[in-house]
Copies of this chain bind each other. A is one copy, B any other.
Amino acid sequence: MSSETNAPPGFELPLRLFMAFREMIDELHAELARRGHPNMRPMDGFVFQAIGPYGTTAAELGRRLGVSKQAAGKTIDALERLGYVDRAADPRDARRKIVKLTAHGADSLAKSAEIFEELRARWVRTLGEKRVRALESDLRRMTPDDYFRVDVPGWFGDRGGS
């Protein structure tokens, strides 16, 4: 029973998971702003990942993000105004418009990757490579294999109607 003693309250784990995540994302965006990308929202990175290197359509993006195609369309509008993506007609299908990252958008993705490496390096400096690996390994065991269900938007959710 001694292994049960002094166990932290159960809610600490999820809370710390969130705090750590949030901390990293906040630092990412602070750094991103310094390197030429202000105006990026916390989850625009997810959107860019969902767009992918070859581009997508609004409807497909909506599916990947777990939102309606209209919502995806509005997100694209906003990102287009900010210069991160652009739309081009699909020569094969007159209905579709291919949404692609612009150079600026691709740059934000590259910068994000750099910064994530730096952040991980900081964790390694504090905890050591071994524990960071253990951390990643443990989290990998506790989460779905495919780290690509990025249906984050609106996850905090509405209170529904009435």
Contacts and interface: CB of A to CB of B under 8 A. Distances in A.
A139 B19 CA distance: 9
Interface string A39-65: 101110000000000000000000000
B42 A147 contact: no
Contacts of A126: 141-142
Contacts of A139: 13, 16-17, 19-20
A138 B143 contact: no
Nearest to A8: B136
Given A120-B13, A123-B13, A142-B23, A156 B156 contact: yes
Question: How many subunits of this chain does the assembly comprise?
Answer: 2
Interface residues of A, number: 61
A25 B152 CA distance: 13
B143 A19 contact: yes
Nearest to A130: B3
Interface of A: 3, 7-25, 28, 39, 41-43, 78, 112-113, 115-121, 123, 126-127, 129, 131-136, 138-144, 147, 152-153, 155-160
